[in-house]
Amino acid sequence: MRAGAGGKRFARKERRTDAADMRKTEELILYRDFADGGLLNDMVRLMESGGGKAEDAEAMRGLFYSCMHRLLEMAGKYGFYGNLWHCYLTDLLVNDENSYSRACEIRGAVEGSVNRAVLHDIALFKELFDHDFAGLADRLEVRDFDLALSYEGNAQESRVYNTRIRDRICALAQRFRTAATPEEMKDMLTDFYREYGVGRFGLHKAFRVVGEGSGAVIEPILNIAHVKLSDLIGYELQKQKLLENTEAFVSGRRANNCLLFGDAGTGKSSCIKAIANAYYERGLRVIEIYKHQFRSLNDVIARIKNRNYKFIIYMDDLSFEEFEVEYKYLKAVIEGGLEKKPQNVLIYATSNRRHLIRESFRDKEERDEELHTNDTVQEKLSLVSRFGVTIYFGSPDKRQFEQIVEGLAERNGIDMPREELLLQANRWELSHGGLSGRTAQQFVDHLLGRA
């Protein structure tokens, strides 16, 4: 296929019978199974029709307006701006998970015959990018199509991507316009895969598991709090220990499953969010799962074990009552089952309990109905022993609590005499959960809301 073909292939009517007619999108080899490919097929149909016969013109005109409608709706959903047709095509390319894009994610260009197949597809996409709709719009008397070619978005738009991801896709769409050949366009796309990855795992930091069993789906969390470890005042030793373990994991060295335990409101969950933000650029992704979904753990791991990212499976507020047996699935996945846990997967959990499973004095009483009472105790301790790193987060004392309050107040621009600030903070904590970082944050939020 010649690089300079431009939009001419799509402008002429194919010399085939209706029965044998085939859209150019059906000639794609790797990039073809798009989740949102209906708009692509309709736009290509418009291109190949050239406006159609006189009796078909009204139908083609209606289809053109329908495509405009979908492009503008897409802009509202994804937050795109500029040339919406180009943004749509770029979004298809950066989200399509195929053998080439998965191989390139985080690692970059690969060798082999697959590059010929990719270049074949990119040449077709370049023709789509270069196609000029002006003549077709004039023939069909479609007004205001320029809306979709120079769209001005607003900050409120986007229910799917945050502004960082949206801007990356729009910027790549603009770069594609400068590519003189399919080879240049392919190189630009490959660089994007290397820097950001592909599909949902490439574009998002954090995910949750929805559903159970084989029907469980890994869905992106669209708005994760942009927390940094430096935002957590105090707990320097705890943060350092967590950083060292995560750094080793992301760097490809040996690392341990990690349990953050201790008092409520001390920043355990915030540390996990901060880790997701800090290491996203280096290929770390966090998947949150709840204990009632532990039967899906093996299915989740099977879907991520061959990807080029590092995954932390995150379990928040992990604990089990005596009658809950889901911890047995977790034990087998962490260590103990026949299948080895993949090297790109770690388990991080937070809990208010050190031993995770509720214990009672009855477990150790000789009068218990069970003959081997020590076996019961060991069974309940065996889960926590599978976490190689355990980090304790204790409630701050009064002095530390006041330091947290002062730090948060300064960070949020609260101008209040120190004595008055601490007096109100101490009154607040007495009736709002006691001494903790969470209580300090709630007090500062209260002050900000009142102001």
What's the rounded mean pLDDT across residues 186-197? 94
The residue segments making up the domain with residue 239 are 206-393
Residue 238 amino acid letter: Q
Q: Determine the pLDDT at residue 4.
A: 41
Could you tell me if 374 and 418 lie in one domain? no
What's the rounded mean pLDDT across residues 133-157? 83
Last residue of a domain, one of 169, 201, 233: 201
Could you tell me if 183 and 231 lie in one domain? no
Last residue of a domain, one of 181, 201, 221: 201
- Mean pLDDT (the chain) is 84
Q: Assess whether pLDDT exceeds 70 at residue 312.
A: yes
pLDDT > 90 fraction of the chain, expressed in percent and rounded: 49
- Number of domains forming the structure of the chain: 3
Question: Could you tell me which of 169, 148, 144 has the C-alpha nearest to residue 78?
Answer: 169
What's the rounded mean pLDDT across residues 318-324? 67
Q: How confident is the model at residue 283 (pLDDT cuts 50, 70, 90)?
A: very high
Q: Assess whether pLDDT exceeds 60 at residue 3.
A: no
Could you tell me if 228 and 135 lie in one domain? no
What's the rounded mean pLDDT across residues 331-349? 77
Could you tell me if 146 and 282 lie in one domain? no
Could you tell me if 289 and 423 lie in one domain? no
Could you tell me if 185 and 214 lie in one domain? no
Could you tell me if 41 and 186 lie in one domain? yes
Q: Assess whether pLDDT exceeds 90 at residue 384.
A: no
Could you tell me if 105 and 17 lie in one domain? yes
Tokens 């291109």 -> residue = 47
Q: pLDDT tens digits, residue range 386-440?
A: 788 999 999 999 999 999 999 999 988 998 899 999 999 999 999 888 899 999 9
- Are 286 and 276 in contact, with CB atoms under 8 Å apart? yes
Last residue of a domain, one of 142, 171, 201: 201
The angle formed by the CA atoms of residues 105, 107 and 108, to the nearest 5 degrees, is 80
Could you tell me if 196 and 213 lie in one domain? no
Q: How confident is the model at residue 314 (pLDDT cuts 50, 70, 90)?
A: very high
Q: Look at 5 and 267; give whichever has higher pLDDT.
A: 267
Could you tell me if 47 and 186 lie in one domain? yes
Question: CATH no. for residue 301?
Answer: 3.40.50.300
Could you tell me if 38 and 102 lie in one domain? yes
**102 Cβ neighbours under 8 A, 6+ residues apart:** 198, 307, 308
Q: Determine the pLDDT at residue 176.
A: 97
Q: Determine the pLDDT at residue 367.
A: 45
Q: pLDDT tens digits, residue range 88-142?
A: 999 999 999 999 999 999 889 999 999 999 999 999 999 999 998 888 888 888 8
Burial of 269 (0-12, 13-18, 19+ CB in 10 A): middle
Q: Assess whether pLDDT exceeds 50 at residue 328.
A: yes
Could you tell me if 230 and 302 lie in one domain? yes
Q: How confident is the model at residue 15 (pLDDT cuts 50, 70, 90)?
A: very low
